[in-house]
Structure 1
Amino acid sequence: MIASVRGPVQHVGLDSVIVEVGGVGLLVHTTPGTAADLRRGSQATLATSLVVREESLTLYGFADADERALFEQVQTVSGVGPRLALAMLAVHPPDVLRGAISGGDLATLTKVPGIGKKGAERIVLELRDKVVAGEASPGTPARAAGREPWRSQVGEALVGLGWSAKQADDAVEAVAGQAGDGGDVSGLLRAALRELGR
């Protein structure tokens, strides 16, 4: 298993990055918040999880090992694959997800596109006794500030997570006052996700 990658960032997409490792560019799928923290040409260190399928090898990357651990844990639930597990981490940080699972908070879980009431109940039923609320890793790195154009980055990330363009635009407008000089893309994305969850 590839547990981590480190190297210069060659490309940053909405929900993926390419990191050069030993002369090879590895495509790493991430949450929009993690991708927004990385810059082309900068050094990146990501905790990773390799998902092996008959027709593909797909690498998923995370800001820290805590996110990776939860990503792998939620996939033990029937019907939860890597894309849905990544969407869960895109909408909620690990400590919020663990709290929702251990507390049976279905409303929080169903804010994730692709998780309905039955899916949320199944996740709670199968993982309630396996997760500990507030189990965030110490020393989690602080998110770096994003740069313009934050509006399109946040809007495209929301559409990529399953909301309509109209919902994404409304959420972007709702958090525009928090942008300040240039805007922290990952912070604004989290604020927009909270706005959509109301």
Structure 2
Amino acid sequence: MIASVRGTVLHVGLDHVVVEVGGVGLHVHTTPSTAAASSTGREVTLATTLVVREESLTLYGFDGTEARALFEQVQTVSGVGPRLALAMLSVHSPDGVRQAIAGGDLVALTKVPGIGKKGAERIVLELKDKILASGVEPSLAGPAETAAGGDGTGRQVHEALVGLGWNAKQAEQAIDRVRSAGSAPTSVAEFLRAALRELGR
């Protein structure tokens, strides 16, 4: 089990980074927001989990152990694999995922590409009690949708949305809706989450 990696970022993609550790470049799958927060040439530390399959060894990285723990926990649900678990953390923050499960918020869960109503119901059924037992309080209101500011931020979010499977026009429309919604977030991650919520409407 590779629990963490620390090293120099050699490359930043839409949903991955390549980190040099001991002269070896490790391809680490991440959420778009984690990738966007990384910079080529700078050192990064990621909490990681290694998924072993017959034909592959795939490394997934997170900006903290909380996200990694949730990534592993949601995969205990039948039908949820690592890519779907990563998509959940791309659309929502770890707290957002936990609150959606604790509150039985199927609308929030089905905003994740690949999760339909039945899948969301199964996730809630299998994890709700565990999430509530950990002390998470279900949210009575959805997360605030905020507008983005800055062309550089918009470009990064546009690239991330296209990388996640939406076409360029859909990405542009989501970004425009976020920008017209109200106050501006200060990070690419919050902007991306707001755009993903718009796409899930």
TM-score (normalizing by structure 2): 0.85
1:42 matched to which residue of 2? 42
Instruction: Tell me the equivalent position of 1:115.
Output: 115
Distance 1:19 1:80 in 2: 27
**Partner amino acid, structure 1, of 2:68:** R
Whole-angstrom CA distance in 1 between matches of 2:54 and 2:197: 37
Distance in 2 between the 1:114 and 1:190 partners? Answer: 16
Q: Which residue identity does 1:150 align to in structure 2?
A: T
Q: Which residue of 2 aligns with 1:62?
A: 62
Corresponding pairs, count? 185
In the other structure, the counterpart of 2:77 is 77
Q: How does 1:2-13 map to 2 (within 5 A)?
A: 2-13=2-13
Report the counterpart of residue 161 of structure 2 in structure 1.
Answer: 158
* Cα distance in 1, alignment partners of residues 196 and 18 from structure 2: 25
Q: What is the aligned partner in structure 1 of residue 194 from structure 2? A: 191
How far is 1:88 from its partner? Answer: 0.2
- Paired with 2:121 and 2:191, the residues of 1 have a C-alpha distance of 29
Report the counterpart of residue 139 of structure 1 in structure 2.
none
Q: Percent identity, please.
A: 70
Task: Give the drift of 1:162.
Answer: 3.3
Contact 1:33 1:185 in 2 (8 A): yes
Q: Match of 1:27, SS? A: strand
Measured after TM superposition, the shift of residue 165 of structure 1 is 2.7
CA-atom RMSD in angstroms: 2.1
Structure 1 letter corresponding to 2:10: Q
Relative to structure 1, is the Cα distance of residues 175 and 103 closer, same or farther in structure 2, using a 3 angstrom cutoff?
A: closer
Q: Distance in 1 between matches of 2:102 and 2:184?
A: 33
1:60: how far off?
0.2
Report the AA paired with residue 35 of structure 2. Answer: A
Query: C-alpha displacement at 1:176, in angstroms?
Result: 4.1
Contact 2:110/2:200 (<8 A) preserved: no
Q: Does the CA contact (< 8 Å) of 1:15 and 1:29 recur in 2?
A: yes
Residues 5 and 46, structure 2, Cα contact 8 Å, conserved in 1: yes
Counterparts of 2:187 and 2:93, CA distance in 1: 16
- Residue in structure 2 matched with residue 88 of structure 1 by the alignment: 88
Cα offsets for 1:119-146 (capped at 9, x unmatched): 00111111111114269xxxxxxxxxxx
**Structure 1: tracts of 5 or more residues without a match:** 136-146
1:39 is paired with a residue whose SS is coil
Which string of whole-angstrom CA distances, capped at 9 and with x for unpartnered residues, describes residues 55-92 of structure 1?
Answer: 00000000100000000000011110100000000000
Distance across 2 between alignment mates of 1:134 and 1:102: 7
Measure, in 2, the Cα distance between the counterparts of 1:102 and 1:186: 23
For 1:89 and 1:101, the matched residues in 2 are separated by 13
Q: Is the contact made by 1:98 and 1:131 (CA closer than 8 Å) also made in structure 2?
A: yes
The CA distance in 2 between the partners of 1:25 and 1:134, in whole Å, is: 40
TM-score (norm 1): 0.86
Question: How far has the Cα of 1:157 moved from its partner?
Answer: 1.2
- Unaligned stretches of 5+ in structure 2? 139-149
| Bigger shift: residues 39-48 or 147-156 | 147-156
